[in-house]
Amino acid sequence: MDAQPQTDMAVVHDDLLDAMHRLDLALSAPAPRRQRDWCERVAKELAKLHETLGRHVVAAEAPGGMFAEVEKAAPPLHHRIERLKREHAQLLRQMDVLEAFVEKQRDQEIYGFQEIRQRAGWLLTGLRHRTALVADLIFELYDTDIGCGD
């Protein structure tokens, strides 16, 4: 794989992990008696995560991006790449739904912080799972490419 796309992808990946961490911190902050501020912070971090995930998806799925490079180097991994693309689309849809839910909570000043935490927790779990699948894919490519499997 080319060094430049890897570097760009590594930066985007680090940004994604940072955005996930920042949302997690916002979610774990105390909410009672400060729901409006809590909800504003969560909405802000969720929007940043959504934007970062979008950049990650574009970088990974672009012609000449990480997925194209992996598929070129190891065609048998095609089905795994297709699964990751489907998961990207699902995660982006989940983010749309969660952002709409948080916005509705803010507009109605309901601040269902426990439900927001639960929904966002599911989203973060999905993102962590997808991150692990990508790491497995890269490791498998590396293992296959240099032929030093166990």
* pLDDT tens-place string over residues 65-124: 999 999 999 898 899 999 999 999 999 999 999 999 999 988 787 778 999 999 999 999
Residue 85, both tokens: 């693309």
pLDDT class of 2 with cuts at 50, 70, 90: very low
DSSP per-residue string spanning 97-118? HHHHHHHHHHHHT---HHHHHH
Sorted by where each starts, the structural domains of the chain and their CATH numbers stand as: 3-146 (1.20.120)
Rounded Cα gap, residues 9 and 13, in angstroms:
6
Mean pLDDT, the chain, integer: 88
Per residue in 49-81, pLDDT tens? 999 999 999 999 999 999 999 999 989 889 999
The answer to whether the predicted template modeling score (pTM) of the entire model surpasses 0.95 is no
Cα distances (angstroms) measured from residue 143 to each of 60, 77, 79, 109, 129: 20, 12, 18, 52, 21
Q: Which amino acid is at 147?
A: G
Q: Are 43 and 107 contacting, i.e. CB atoms less than 8 angstroms apart?
A: no
Which residue's entry shows tokens 């991994």? 77
